[in-house]
Structure 1
């Protein structure tokens, strides 16, 4: 009975956040079309609506730990669900994301991603995609900010192991910027698929930065170790024991 009630609350929560997306998006559109600041304020307003309603509707409290960078930086994050995107974006002053190009065709999200100069990547063409990603990132560097990349390339469910893609290492070498790893446990409470949302504390944690200058292989090893170890700890904190037996395909 308790699970049935939580599922119903989750259904109502999911329904209203998708209803509010076009409402808030349209309300800010006259400002956002002509101003990146307007687009950011819109996206952060929507995210804060989601955080607020998640707390009282399904019992999820969102918490950002660590120190988000305020200047130029490469953010290499763990990705488990839509929630960590909103939490990272809201915590950073001028973030833009590297994302799969299909998202640009998504109503509201796609339009705002374009307004914020997010970088679209064709995941099906790995070599060409990396070259284009690097070129697009350099082309969009007129405005200082934080470039967010999901190092595993996709959402990864709790307990599932997936390789870290070389694109993060390439950007680390090319940009010569400090890289800030980000760990999370949000997938325990807000899964990548399905309706059910479970109560608890959803955490996104900005970890100790990795300074530029390392060899790519060494950088990728340090990045993966920091993010995976801390994410596992956060998931245990949320009541989930990562078994490490599965592999994402």
Structure 2
């Protein structure tokens, strides 16, 4: 049954995704809010298919703080890449540059307000990310980053990428750790499985902490929440 559910989901989700990506520039012509609504609808489609086709329940734990924040998320599957933007009210999301180069999608993503960063994380790339993040902060938007840099299988805890500490310092915002336990339902490789996806919000960590302390606290928090 897992194979049947997986292929049904893939056909429907990726088929709809092609349509949503092609329509994104049209939404973008009507401004950022229209594009945010478009992205939210795409995220809703994905969650609906995960629930109805794959048979996964979605549960949210912890209070979502109010105000402008830096969200640091644990990344296990594509699920949270879309769903967190909907739950968190369209934050500016840090995105790797390879995705920004995809025709149509890249333009729409940058129009949406994503923050593009090179994975090489050289000094010039990091400075560019800081400038984009500060522009997002000036508009009143929160920022979402997956500080481990990529999707990781459940149970793994790689170190945070170097760009996180610089972003934290540049934004001067409290950090809210977020863990989305989605990899058991939607693994990076192989079939999808019926089960439960849990979104957990941790307690805010204040701004202004030294680099080693903030990295240690965020790393510990997102992995503890994911247990």
Contact 1:190 1:197 in 2 (8 A): yes
Question: CA offsets per residue over residues 23-79 of structure 1, 9 Å max, x none?
Answer: 234456433323111111111111111111211211112223223344211111111
3-state SS of paired residue (2:173) = coil
Matched, 1:40 2:59: no
Give the aligned partner of residue 56 of structure 2: 60
The farther-off stretch of 83-92 and 160-169 is 160-169
Work out the CA distance in 1 between the residues paired with 2:217 and 2:203.
Answer: 11
Work out the CA distance in 2 between the residues paired with 1:68 and 1:116.
Answer: 23
TM-score by length of 1: 0.84
Give the aligned partner of residue 118 of structure 2: 122
Work out the CA distance in 1 between the residues paired with 2:150 and 2:13.
Answer: 22
Match of residue 204, structure 2, among 209, 231, 239: 209
Task: Count residues in correspondence.
Answer: 227
Match of residue 18, structure 2, among 16, 19, 22: 22
Work out the CA distance in 2 between the residues paired with 1:159 and 1:204.
Answer: 16
Contact 1:96 1:148 in 2 (8 A): yes
Gaps of 5+ in 1: 233-249
Work out the CA distance in 2 between the residues paired with 1:220 and 1:87.
Answer: 25
Work out the CA distance in 2 between the residues paired with 1:107 and 1:199.
Answer: 34
The farther-off stretch of 118-127 and 46-55 is 118-127
Following superposition of structure 1 onto structure 2, how do residues 71-220 of structure 1 map, counting pairs within 5 Å? 71-106=67-102, 109-194=105-190, 196-220=191-215
Structure 1 residues 102, 224: CA separation in 2 closer, same or farther (over 3 Å shift)? same
Gaps of 5+ in 2: none
